[in-house]
Structure 1
């Protein structure tokens, strides 16, 4: 019988500056039979070369994608995973010691766990000691539809959550991490784990803004996004017959 293993899932695009440090921090913690799935979305810098320079059989690199969309690239990456539990990872952060072990321990009792993090600049110098405090993170479907605190770089979940979450809604209004978080809340147990387990690096080329939580969208754009979210969540509840849950 094959020994159960876990997957770490990373979507990359032009991440040559910071990706080596992140991969190294992950490989130093995960088990010998785990896998690090990396899906690259058409990088034009040296991202692929940096990844290939790290000789470790746990790395499974999928290159040549041309989604031009981090949500679709993450969905592709997640479909390649085979692990019992799945960790999400950005290309530019750094895992702190014991993240892997502590998150796995929490997953014994929860379907999805999201840890706190330290917000740092590109040189890993502290900006804010607690992402949770800065962002008022916490559970709640309505709360997170209004302002998401599900950030994938800090998340790990059971395979059952992924099976329920796929395929992702075909819209850019709901990030892959927010969708997974909402699905986990609707179908199981979620833990916001109050330990800072990654250095959450902010820089000008990051997918999420340097000023975390600050949106440049107009009120009409935000309203449209909320309406789309409500429709997608309602469709999910109806399709999964969740209103019949005790």
Structure 2
């Protein structure tokens, strides 16, 4: 069983395209979990319409504490063996779920994967053919602490991994960064080179490809991540 988790907030403009691209890949026993964090536009109406027509769509009221807490809440509701994260404004390419689930079956020791993405603008014109190449994505704990390359829009993990990543510590810069680092500490992460998502960039994205945060803020984030890993007894300080 697959669980797809979406954290929505004022996403009416592109949401239907994303929901259609996801639902077309799910079987009758899979689920699409949508946690809405108090949208003021037509997002909730769109979600309710889909839920009324498709029993696989499950709607929840988010905690109202931002995107990280909203994704955490959505993940907590998941019941599937494999959990996929999805942004509200992207488009999944055909074969995404099949490719990733097959990879998990072939690599039983891997807990978390990130598949490549095509970066597009709001009209789906290609900006970059490969997110992996554009961002020089590679595995490595300290490499990604220094300059995060993990991306939730291409991320999926096994249900058992929830015990490792939840609860998400306070003040973590972003949930996908935390998930990726924990998998790295256990050597249970992998990159899938296939481009399986159209990663849409527009004026209202909740995340940035290249952060605009100051150097001091980035240093604080790194310190927060390291201390959180230490407190979770994942990193040991000698």
Q: TM-score, normalised by structure 2?
A: 0.93
**CA deviation string 1:99-148 (max 9, x = no partner):** 01000011121211100000000001100000000001111111111111
Corresponding residue for 2:178? 179
Bigger drift between 142-151 and 193-202 goes to 142-151
Corresponding residue for 1:224? 220
Alignment of 1:1-246 (within 5 A): 5-54=1-50, 55-63=53-61, 65-67=63-65, 69-108=66-105, 109=107, 110-171=110-171, 173-209=172-208, 212-213=209-210, 215-236=211-232, 238=233
Q: Tell me how far apart the structure 2 counterparts of residues 153 and 188 of structure 1 sit (CA, whole Å).
A: 21
Structure 1 residue ranges (4+ consecutive) displaced by more than 4 angstroms after TM superposition: none
CA RMSD of aligned residues (A): 1.3
Q: Tell me how far apart the structure 1 counterparts of residues 214 and 224 of structure 2 sit (CA, whole Å).
A: 16
Q: Counterpart of 1:221 in 2: which secondary structure?
A: helix
Q: Counterpart of 2:173 in 1: which secondary structure?
A: coil
Q: Tell me how far apart the structure 2 counterparts of residues 202 and 49 of structure 1 sit (CA, whole Å).
A: 24
CA shift, 1:220, in A, is 1.4
Summarize the Cα distance change of 1:90–1:64 in structure 2 as closer, same or farther, 3 Å threshold. Answer: closer
Preserved contact between residue 162 and residue 180 of structure 1 (Cα < 8 Å): no
Preserved contact between residue 63 and residue 73 of structure 2 (Cα < 8 Å): no
**CA deviation string 1:144-175 (max 9, x = no partner):** 1111111111011101211111100111x431
CA shift, 1:205, in A, is 0.3
Preserved contact between residue 87 and residue 153 of structure 2 (Cα < 8 Å): yes
**CA deviation string 1:16-64 (max 9, x = no partner):** 0000000100000011100000000000000011112221100000126
Q: TM-score, normalised by structure 1?
A: 0.90
CA shift, 1:75, in A, is 0.6
Q: Counterpart of 1:199 in 2: which secondary structure?
A: strand
Q: Tell me how far apart the structure 2 counterparts of residues 144 and 160 of structure 1 sit (CA, whole Å).
A: 23
**CA deviation string 1:169-199 (max 9, x = no partner):** 111x431111111111223521111110000
Bigger drift between 217-226 and 152-161 goes to 217-226
Q: Counterpart of 1:7 in 2: which secondary structure?
A: strand
Q: Tell me how far apart the structure 2 counterparts of residues 75 and 65 of structure 1 sit (CA, whole Å).
A: 10
Q: Tell me how far apart the structure 2 counterparts of residues 46 and 113 of structure 1 sit (CA, whole Å).
A: 32
Summarize the Cα distance change of 1:106–1:80 in structure 2 as closer, same or farther, 3 Å threshold. Answer: same
Preserved contact between residue 161 and residue 183 of structure 1 (Cα < 8 Å): no
